[in-house]
């Protein structure tokens, strides 16, 4: 018998570095916390009431694997109106993370290559490896823009997928219409799957949100309610794409997540009609406050969406700078968690304005080392 029962596939990646920072946060007294990628506003009251009503009226059993009609039909109508694609179906996933996992299991075989843009959400690289895929990393420093020619050069006969996230976590950069069109049309031309993580689609501050699915009718899109309506713990996401892909993902959902929580789906239907415009205005103001407070001392690509900023450390490595910040009771995330480089750090401005102001003061102070 082997000395360990642990599967070898788990050795290809480490525990989430973000979780380690969260564990550290629990040990500090009243930290200035600019690390958490979670909205600082509460779930809207009508959404809470819909959830409570669902529980009280007995909607607590297993949901349909594809999602309850009260939500799924509403999502399908919205998607049909937006895209008008003849072959685009939606299902309700157990969070966007569940959707990402199902997409990887459904599309990527061992040895398949998946193009990922660096910096990337912490889960991407690990998920590709978990299913036996090979991440092909394209560096986007220093401005975090996508060079379509570099993407084209990276495509080989083993390329299965391009994984895209705009607005981006951790940089906050929203790719331009031209960049997204270029990648979408390239994927269609080469017959490569395009997976678009659009969880921050509601957080665009300098223009309308653009989806690559507008230019590629076979693009697979993942979105959800966690960020837009602060429903992070409710695990409610959506995936839409070609029927062949959606049917395969549903087959796998039956044997893994089973379904998204039923009460959350009834609440999600109400969330679709609950505007969050005031929060987006607030977040644009937080973005501007943080950028204006740091731009003269830090190299920063101004974010156009999400609620993150990704400055370059003014001295040392990103990890060394974050260690100094933590010594000063400020929690931020080292950029190496999201990247092959250790030069930057991530700030989340999903926080009270006073917390952001304290963070700016600490960052300016330690930048002068």
- Mean pLDDT, residues 162-178: 98
- List phi, psi (to 5°) of 354: -65, -35
Alpha helix (H) ranges present in the chain? 17-25, 45-56, 69-83, 95-107, 122-130, 148-154, 177-190, 243-254, 262-271, 277-294, 318-327, 353-367
- List phi, psi (to 5°) of 99: -60, -40
- Mean pLDDT, residues 194-212: 97
Query: Residue ranges of the domains in the chain?
Result: 8-43+276-367, 47-271
Given a cut of 90, is residue 365 above it in pLDDT? yes
Res 3: pLDDT: 67
- List phi, psi (to 5°) of 359: -65, -40
- Mean pLDDT, residues 310-327: 96
* d(C-alpha 221, C-alpha 179), whole Å: 17
- Mean pLDDT, residues 1-28: 70
- List phi, psi (to 5°) of 161: -150, 150
* d(C-alpha 31, C-alpha 197), whole Å: 31
Res 25: pLDDT: 63
Res 280: pLDDT: 93
Q: 24 pLDDT band (50/70/90 cuts)?
A: low
Token couple for 368: 């002068």
Q: 16 pLDDT band (50/70/90 cuts)?
A: low
Res 222: pLDDT: 98
Task: Please choose, from the candidates 307, 299, 301, 296, the residue with its C-alpha nearest in 3D space to the C-alpha of residue 355.
Answer: 307
Q: 162 pLDDT band (50/70/90 cuts)?
A: very high
Which of 5-19, 292-306, 316-330 shows the lowest per-residue confidence on average (mean pLDDT)?
A: 5-19
* d(C-alpha 18, C-alpha 337), whole Å: 7
Res 20: pLDDT: 64
- Mean pLDDT, residues 70-75: 98
Q: What is the pLDDT of residues 261-293, one digit of tens each?
A: 999 999 999 999 999 999 999 999 999 999 999
Res 17: pLDDT: 59
Percent of the chain with pLDDT over 70: 96
The DSSP result for 117-170, as a single string, is EES--HHHHHHHHHTT-EEEEEE-TTTT---HHHHHHH--TTEEEEEEESS-TT
Contacting residues for 340 by C-beta, under 8 A, at least 6 apart: 118, 137, 139
- Mean pLDDT, residues 142-166: 98
Given a cut of 60, is residue 39 above it in pLDDT? yes
Q: 107 pLDDT band (50/70/90 cuts)?
A: very high
Given a cut of 70, is residue 19 above it in pLDDT? no
Q: What is the pLDDT of residues 235-264, one digit of tens each?
A: 999 999 999 999 999 999 999 999 999 999
**CATH entry 3.90.1150.10 includes domain 8-43+276-367:** yes
Q: What is the pLDDT of residues 45-56, one digit of tens each?
A: 999 999 999 999
Edge-to-edge strand list for the sheet holding 308-309: 308-309, 345-348, 333-334
- Mean pLDDT, residues 19-33: 74
CB 334 within 8 A of CB 342: yes
Mean pLDDT score of the chain: 95
Given a cut of 90, is residue 6 above it in pLDDT? no
Classified by CATH at the fold level, domain 47-271 comes out as 3.40.640
* d(C-alpha 203, C-alpha 284), whole Å: 9
More confident residue, 97 or 27: 97
- List phi, psi (to 5°) of 314: -75, -15
């Amino acid at each position: 018998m082997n000395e360990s029962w642990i599967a070898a596939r788990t050795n290809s990646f480490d525990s989430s570095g973000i979780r380690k920072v969260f564990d550290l946060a629990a040990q500090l007294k009243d930290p200035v916390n600019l690390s958490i990628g979670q909205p600082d506003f509460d779930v809207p009251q009508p959404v809470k009431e819909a959830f409570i009503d669902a529980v009280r009226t007995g909607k607590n059993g297993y949901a349909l694997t594809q999602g309850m009609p009260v939500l799924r039909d509403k999502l399908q109508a919205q998607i049909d109106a937006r895209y008008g694609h003849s072959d685009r179906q939606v299902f309700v996933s157990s969070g966007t993370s569940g959707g990402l996992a199902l997409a990887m299991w459904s599309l990527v075989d061992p040895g398949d290559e998946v193009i990922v843009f660096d910096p990337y959400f912490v889960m991407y690289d690990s998920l590709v490896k978990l299913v036996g895929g090979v991440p092909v990393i394209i560096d986007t420093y220093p401005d975090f823009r996508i060079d379509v020619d570099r993407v084209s050069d990276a495509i080989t006969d083993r390329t299965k997928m391009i994984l895209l996230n705009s607005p981006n976590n951790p940089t906050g950069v929203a790719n331009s219409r031209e960049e997204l069109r270029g990648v979408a049309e390239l994927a269609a031309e080469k017959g490569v799957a395009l997976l678009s993580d659009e969880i921050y689609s509601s957080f665009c501050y300098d223009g309308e949100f653009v989806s690559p699915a507008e230019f590629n009718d076979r693009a697979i899109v993942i979105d959800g309610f966690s960020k837009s309506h602060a429903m992070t713990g409710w695990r409610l996401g959506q995936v839409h794409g070609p029927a062949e892909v959606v049917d395969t993902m549903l087959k796998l959902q039956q044997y893994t997540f089973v379904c998204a929580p039923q009460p959350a789906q009834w609440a999600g239907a109400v969330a679709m009609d609950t505007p969050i415009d005031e929060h987006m205005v607030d977040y644009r103001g937080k973005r501007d406050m943080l950028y204006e407070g740091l731009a003269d001392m830090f190299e920063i690509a101004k974010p156009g969406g999400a609620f993150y900023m990704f400055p370059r450390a003014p001295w040392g490595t990103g990890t060394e700078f974050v260690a100094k910040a933590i010594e000063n009771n400020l929690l931020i995330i080292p950029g190496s968690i999201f990247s092959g480089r250790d030069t930057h750090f991530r700030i989340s401005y999903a926080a009270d304005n006073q917390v952001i102001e304290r963070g700016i003061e600490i960052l300016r102070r330690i930048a002068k080392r």
